A and B are shown apart, each in its own frame.
Chain A
Amino acid sequence: METQDSKGKIIKETFPSEVVSIVGDLLAGIVLSLLILPFDSFLVLLLMIPALLSLRGNLSGPFIARTSRDLVIGNFSKRSWIENVLATYTLSIITAIFIGIFSIILNLIFFKLYILSNQYFITIPIISIVLTLSISVPCSTGLNYLAFKKGLNPNNVVNPVMTAIDDFSTVFCFFLTIIMLGVP
């Protein structure tokens, strides 16, 4: 599959997914600039958002890449998928705790805004990333499988589409989490 990919094929397969990704990310941008910006604690919340977007990319990116690699080289199995999912969730929760701790430290050093209590710094990243992954994991597995079955290269197609879904769901789940927790 990869051996035959000319630049034309790369463009043909990657560009449409990239447009989908851009649309999803602009929706995330709307949530950010219209729904999260009005919060009193916006500057503190903004501290966590890029980290959560990175975390989502850092964990679901390799998850998608490993799944597509397994499909391309014929190593895909239920067991390898379950191991992949468990590893992704465990790493997400551990990293979300670190995001919370480092956000507290950065806030104390640079901003000194005491609008949020420390428990919010820990619970917001954990809840929002678990919610996001619960959308991301089934979607990306399904897309990987569908792309492969249709003869498309999952490496070219799935990542950009999932970035759109994931970035929008990260910002939206973040918004839902701060609403649920009653963040000022």
Chain B
Amino acid sequence: MGLISGTLLSSNEEILYSIPIMLLIIPALNSLTGDISTVLVSRLTTHLYIGTLSPKIKISERLKEDFYGLLITLLLSLVSLLFLGYLVGVISGIKIINPLLMSFIITLTILLLFFIMFITLFIGAIFLFKRGMDPNNFLIPFVTSLADFLTPLFLILFIIIFI
């Protein structure tokens, strides 16, 4: 997945050279999606092990608390990322093209990924736990690779659509 992501970035060199802020923010975007998803997997696994979440695919109060907690954290982090990214871009002299539209594209990418990840990871954690496997060992490598692949993919896709 990481290599496919690298191939995707390398084969869109014109976007990287014309929107140089992409290279600056891609590691932060990848890790934001990866971090929130990793925290989710770790929490789901611990809940399943200590029995605060039953291994059934159904909406519970515990799941809702985790969903809203992580969604609000993601939104606050996104605002910080946009602010700090803009600041670092200005200080380091990296050209920022159409900051408002770029902020919209980044927000859209991150929110879409969060919903995809939350559903996939919840179902995946239950499925693995029921089969006696540790969801941490399977889902964290999966989610990191998926985030590293899907983040630049959606970002490039939305840049092509909107810019």
Contact = CB atoms under 8 A, between A and B. Distances in A.
Contacts of B54: none
Contacts of B23: 29, 32-33, 37
B3 A155 contact: no
Given A11-B69, A48-B6, A102-B3, A159 B35 contact: yes
Best-surrounded residue of A8, A14, A37, A50 (most CB of chain B within 10 A): A50
B124 interface: no
Interface string B54-73: 00000000000110111011
Nearest to A73: B49
A116 B3 CA distance: 17
A6 B69 contact: yes
A7 B144 CA distance: 23
B32 interface: yes
B6 A6 contact: no
Contacts of B52: 2-3
B137 to A, nearest CB: 5
A156 interface: yes
A167 B38 CA distance: 15
Interface residues of B, number: 60
A111 B20 CA distance: 21
Given A29-B28, A30-B88, A110-B7, 13 more contacts: A5-B66, A8-B69, A29-B26, A43-B10, A58-B145, A61-B141, A65-B41, A69-B42, A69-B136, A102-B3, A106-B3, A160-B35, A163-B35
Interface of A: 2-3, 5-11, 14-15, 18-19, 21-23, 25-26, 28-30, 32-34, 37, 43-44, 46-55, 57-59, 61-62, 65-66, 68-69, 72-73, 99, 102-103, 106, 110-111, 155-156, 159-160, 163-164, 167, 171
